């Protein structure tokens, strides 16, 4: 009996102590948690940026800030035979055209999937999403052989056409999710007022869907920009390489040591614009990614 | 679907209430034709760029090319049909070791990274949900690893994992992370988990925010602790979103290429995945063997995703189905109302 009383009294005291400490912890802990998450996400990226700004001779310093800030790595990226400027252009052409083509094709399909009633709709959607499951490599080998036969090696279309296969399901899925969120009544009202379905689509749906299409375009562009295995395989001439491939193939002076400083600088050049776009449109991108599900 | 039509020309099986049966029928066949017209470009592109290669790849895996000597000692060139030889070569002889190593690596990476990503991602989501101040900052930083191209993040981690790099300086050890050993596996796992778990966190957070607050209130009144609330409420309610996220992550890791290829290198035993072997074979113009590896990987992925969907009930298009249902109900309600109004 006394034992129980004593333990319960002790527990109460402990609870009181914990309560006070708990209140303080409750104020601080969220910030600690947030801090941990932010550090986890940003520290490696920070290391890339800082390494890019070191002088080549300080490359292996592990100080948190560069001892001497320098742009030498950045000038090295564009100097010599790296061909990085051309690689950036290639990346823009490939990712840009892939995005544009998938949007044009995807908008129609997504409209049909979101707005029209027809048999096997879920099956069609399932098939389109199912194609994202196919491993890129099983697509690449026959296409590689085909492109060799028809002389498409080292061309833009050899990079764009396979990329469509990756980008299209994602685009359709995201756009379908966006189109579904639009009110159906507006379109019906326009058709009652004498618009054809096509006119209702052009005049009502397209303007309303513009933000969603824009978000999809960003997400698709990032996915296409990040593409690696196709660009690596169907191109063997330096002038046609995309930026990601070109950076991974930078060679040092001796050919044995990797020019990490140059690679980090090139990495910064390739990622910082993307990161900036992502930060500016973060709300929309998060909305798009969570509406479409995953990827 | 509510508007099933037996065959062209016949009346709809369930004519809509409201009388005007001619108009809906025209509308239905019109929207079907329109749907077919709108869907065909996508299906055509996917058929050509995904469907055809998978079939052609399977065909390719039954052939071999290159020079061999025939029974009489003559040189035979070009493609020859060899049946399942490419497959038997993979499962027997020297290649078997390489194959099982790559198969093991692929499976190992999938299990470890997806598990870690899920745990870290869910933890991150809970932190983000709980600490709503600074959520904008978190959301922004969570998107950074996602936006960095995988190949670049491979280079970034290669730099961090250098023998005299930042990671070794931090742990004050001299570990050769990017040489070919178990450490390389760890390096790949760390880099992969870094890149993708924030993203799972983001998706789970979206799922968490859908859960109504009063469910927790009720649980608290009933005396459920934080742990109980997590296991009994949070987890079951975010499960659908989480399952789809996990499925897609699994599919991505099963075909992993960029990260190990850039971080450690191709043809490194410790991190070689099925995609990497297949790519290496194709690069050496052994298309038949490359296609056989790719086909095996394809079947493996198909089996895994089938099992995942069957056993755990991940529902990829569930969202779509729900919306269709909702629309149907709404439509039924509306026609009912107009019917009453006209009567």
**Quick check: is B195 in a domain?**
yes
Residues B331-338 have a mean pLDDT of 42
Is the per-residue pLDDT at B131 higher than 90?
no
This model of the complex carries an ipTM of: 0.85
Distance in Å from the first CA to the final CA of chain A: 60
Asked if the structure places residue B274 within a domain, the reply is yes
- List residues bridging with B80 in a β-sheet: B64
Q: Is residue B323 part of a domain?
A: no
Are B78 and B157 contained in the same domain? no
Residue A104's pLDDT is what? 92
pLDDT higher than 70, residue B70? no
Interchain CB distance below 8 Å, B134 and A31 = yes
Which of helix, strand or coil describes residue A66?
coil
Tell me which DSSP letter residue A201 carries. Answer: I
What's this model's pTM, rounded to 2 decimal places?
0.82
**Is residue B257 situated within a structural domain?**
yes
- Residue B216: name the closest of B202, B206, B226 by CA: B226
3-state helix, strand, coil in chain B (%, to 5): 70, 5, 25
Residue in B145, B164, B258 nearest the CB of A41: B145
Burial A209-225 (b: 16+ CB within 10 A, else e): beebbebbbbbbbbbbb
Cβ partners under 8 Å of residue A171, min gap 6: A102, A103, A106, A110, A216, A220
Is A30 within 8 Å of B295 when comparing Cβ atoms? no
CB B148 within 8 A of CB B156: yes
Q: What would the two tokens of residue A272 be?
A: 């910082």
Residues of chain B numbered 17-56 and touching chain A (CB < 8 Å): 28, 30-32, 34-36, 38-39, 41-43, 45-46, 49-54, 56
Q: Residue B223: what pLDDT? A: 84
**β-bridge partners, B12:** B5
Question: For residue B169, which residues of chain A lie inside 8 Å, CB to CB?
Answer: 62
B117/B223 same-domain check: yes
What integer is the mean pLDDT of B8-34?
52
In terms of Cβ atoms closer than 10 Å to its own Cβ (0-12, 13-18, 19+), residue A182 is middle
Interface probe, candidates B317, B327, B328, chain A, greatest A C-beta count within 10 A: B317
Task: Mark whether B105 and B147 lie in a shared domain.
Answer: yes
Task: Inspect the interface and report whether the beta carbons of A140 and B202 lie closer than 8 Å.
Answer: no
For residue A192, the SS3 value is: helix
User: B-chain residues within 8 Å CB-CB of A112?
Assistant: 34-35, 38-39
> Residue B189 domain-assigned?
yes
Dist. CA B214–CA B46, nearest whole Å: 45
- Are both B215 and B305 inside the same structural domain? yes
Q: Which of B4, B202, B321 sits opposite A286 (nearest CB)?
A: B202
Would an 8 Å CB–CB cutoff place B57 in contact with chain A? yes
Is residue B20, in this structure, part of any structural domain at all? no
Using pLDDT thresholds of 50, 70 and 90, give the confidence band for residue B9.
Answer: very low
Closest CA to A83 of A222, A246, A226: A246
| CA–CA distance, B127 with B203 (Å, rounded to integer) | 13
* Residues in chain A within 8 Å Cβ distance of B164: 60
Q: What average pLDDT does the segment A104-108 reach?
A: 91
Percent of chain B with pLDDT over 70: 78
The answer to whether residues B141 and B288 belong to one domain is yes
Under 8 Å between Cβ of A204 and A193: no
Of A87-91, A129-133, A219-223, the range with the lowest mean pLDDT is A129-133
Q: Which of A172-186, A207-221, A228-242, B5-19 has the lowest mean pLDDT?
A: B5-19
Q: Is the pLDDT of residue A271 over 80?
A: yes
In a domain, B132, yes or no: yes
| Range from A109-123, A234-248, B102-116, B316-330 carrying the lowest mean pLDDT | B316-330
> Does B261 map to a domain?
yes
B46 CA to chain A: closest CA distance, Å? 6
Show Cβ contacts of residue A23 under 8 Å, excluding neighbours closer than 6 positions: none
Residue B164, judged by CB atoms within 10 A of its CB (0-12, 13-18, 19+), counts as exposed
Phi/psi at B264 (nearest 5 deg)?
-110, -40
| Contact state of B147 with A275 under an 8 Å Cβ cutoff | yes
Among A25, A36, A41, the strongest candidate for a mutation testing the B interface, having the largest count of B CBs within 10 A, is: A41
Q: What is the DSSP string of A208-257?
A: HHHHHHHHHHHHHHHHHHT--HHHHHH--SGGG--HHHHHHT---SSSSS
CA B139 to chain centre: 23
Clarify whether residues B47 and B166 are in a common domain. no
Locate A219 and state its tokens: 């997400």
pLDDT band for position B69 (50/70/90)?
A: low
Closest residue in B to A167 (Cα–Cα): B46
> Which one of B53, B138, B159 has the shortest CB-CB distance to A260?
B159
- Total structural domains within chain B: 2
Residues B148 and B290 in one domain: yes
C-alpha to C-alpha distance for A155 and A97, rounded to whole angstroms = 13
What six digits make up the tokens of B28?
């239905």
Cβ pair B150:A228 closer than 8 A? yes
Look at B144 and A275 and tell me if their CB atoms are within 8 Å: yes
Domain boundary among B18, B50, B83: B83
How large is the average pLDDT for residues A43-72? 84
Q: Nearest CA to B198 among B151, B153, B168? A: B153
- Domain around B61: 38-83
Do B78 and B106 fall within a single domain?
no
A76, A269 contact by CB (below 8 A): no
Distance CA A236, CA B331 (A): 56
Residues B125 and B51 in one domain: no
Q: What's the average model confidence in pLDDT over B10-31?
A: 49
* Closest CA relative to residue B289, chosen from B64, B59, B102: B64
Residue B133's pLDDT band, with cuts at 50, 70 and 90, is: confident
| Tokens at A76, concatenated | 């090295």
Judgement on whether residues B44 and B127 belong to the same structural domain of the protein: no
- Assign residue B177 the CATH number of its domain: 1.10.3720.10
- Are B272 and B147 contained in the same domain? yes
pLDDT in tens, B242-281: 888 888 899 899 999 999 999 988 888 889 999 999 999 8
Q: What is the 3-state secondary structure (H, E, C) of B290-329?
A: HHHHHHHHHHHHHHHHHHHHHHHCCCCCHHHHHHHHHHHH
What is the DSSP annotation of A67-130? SSB--HHHHHHHSTT--HHHHHHHHHHHHHHHHHHHHHHHHHHHHHHHH---TTHHHHHHHHHH
Which residues are bridge partners to B76 per DSSP?
Answer: B68
Cross-chain Cβ contact A136/B255 below 8 Å = yes
- Please report where in the chains the tokens 């961090």 appear, as a residue: B160
Which of B158, B68, B242 is CA-nearest to residue A47?
B158
């Amino acid at each position: 009996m006394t034992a129980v009383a004593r333990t319960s009294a002790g527990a109460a005291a402990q609870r009181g102590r914990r309560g006070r400490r708990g209140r303080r912890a409750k104020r601080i802990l969220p910030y600690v948690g947030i801090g941990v998450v932010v550090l986890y996400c940003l520290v490696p990226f920070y290391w890339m940026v800082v390494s890019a700004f070191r002088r080549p001779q300080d490359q292996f310093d592990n100080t948190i800030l560069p001892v001497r800030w320098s742009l030498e790595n950045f000038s090295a990226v564009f100097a010599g035979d790296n061909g990085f400027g051309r690689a950036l252009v290639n990346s823009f052409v490939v990712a840009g055209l892939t995005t544009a083509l998938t949007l044009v094709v995807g908008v129609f399909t997504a409209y049909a999937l979101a707005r029209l009633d027809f048999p096997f709709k879920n099956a069609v959607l399932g098939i389109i999403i199912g194609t994202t499951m196919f491993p890129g490599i099983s697509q690449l080998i026959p296409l590689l052989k085909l492109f060799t036969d028809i002389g498409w090696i080292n061309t833009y279309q050899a990079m764009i056409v396979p990329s469509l296969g990756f980008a299209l399901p994602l685009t359709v899925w995201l756009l379908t999710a966006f189109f579904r969120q639009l009110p159906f009544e507006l379109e019906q009202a326009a058709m009652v007022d004498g618009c054809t379905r096509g006119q209702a689509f052009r005049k009502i749906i397209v303007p309303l869907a513009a933000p969603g299409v824009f978000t999809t375009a960003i997400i698709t562009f990032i996915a296409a920009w990040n593409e690696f295995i196709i660009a690596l395989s169907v191109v063997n001439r330096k002038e046609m390489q995309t930026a990601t491939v070109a950076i991974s193939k930078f060679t040092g002076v001796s050919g044995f040591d990797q020019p990490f400083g140059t690679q980090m600088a090139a990495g910064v050049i390739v990622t910082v614009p993307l990161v900036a776009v992502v930060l500016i449109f973060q709300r929309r991108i998060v909305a798009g990614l969570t509406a479409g599900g995953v990827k | 679907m509510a508007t099933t039509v037996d065959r062209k020309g016949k009346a709809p099986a369930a004519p809509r209430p409201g009388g005007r049966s001619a108009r809906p029928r025209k509308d239905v066949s019109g929207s079907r034709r329109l749907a077919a017209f709108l869907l065909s470009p996508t299906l055509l592109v996917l058929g050509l760029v995904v469907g055809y290669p998978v079939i052609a790849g399977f065909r390719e895996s039954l052939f071999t090319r290159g020079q061999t000597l025939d029974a009489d000692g003559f040189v035979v060139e070009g493609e020859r049909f060899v049946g399942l030889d490419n497959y038997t070569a993979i499962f027997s002889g020297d290649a078997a070791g390489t194959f099982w190593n790559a198969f093991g690596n692929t499976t190992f990476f999938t299990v470890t990274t997806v598990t870690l990503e899920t745990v870290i991602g869910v933890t991150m989501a809970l932190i983000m949900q709980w600490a709503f101040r600074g959520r904008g900052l978190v959301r922004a930083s969570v998107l950074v690893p996602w936006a960095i191209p995988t190949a670049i993040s491979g280079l970034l981690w290669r730099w961090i994992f250098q023998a005299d790099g930042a990671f070794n300086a931090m742990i004050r050890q001299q570990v050769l992370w990017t040489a070919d050993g178990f450490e390389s596996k760890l390096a790949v796992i760390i880099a992969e988990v870094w890149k993708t778990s924030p993203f799972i966190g983001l998706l789970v957070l979206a799922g968490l925010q859908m859960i109504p607050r009063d469910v927790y209130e009720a649980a608290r009144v009933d005396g459920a602790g934080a742990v109980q609330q997590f296991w009994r409420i949070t987890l079951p309610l975010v499960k659908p979103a989480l399952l789809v996220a996990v499925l897609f992550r699994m599919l991505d890791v099963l075909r992993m290429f960029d990260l190990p290829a850039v971080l450690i290198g191709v043809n490194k035993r410790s991190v070689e995945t099925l995609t990497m072997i297949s790519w290496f074979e194709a690069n050496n113009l052994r298309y038949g063997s490359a296609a056989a590896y790719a086909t095996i990987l394809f079947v493996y992925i198909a089996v895994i995703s089938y099992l995942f969907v069957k056993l755990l009930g991940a529902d990829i298009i569930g969202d779509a189905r729900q919306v269709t249902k909702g629309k149907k109900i709404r439509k039924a309600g509306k026609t009912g109302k107009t019917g009453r109004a006209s009567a």
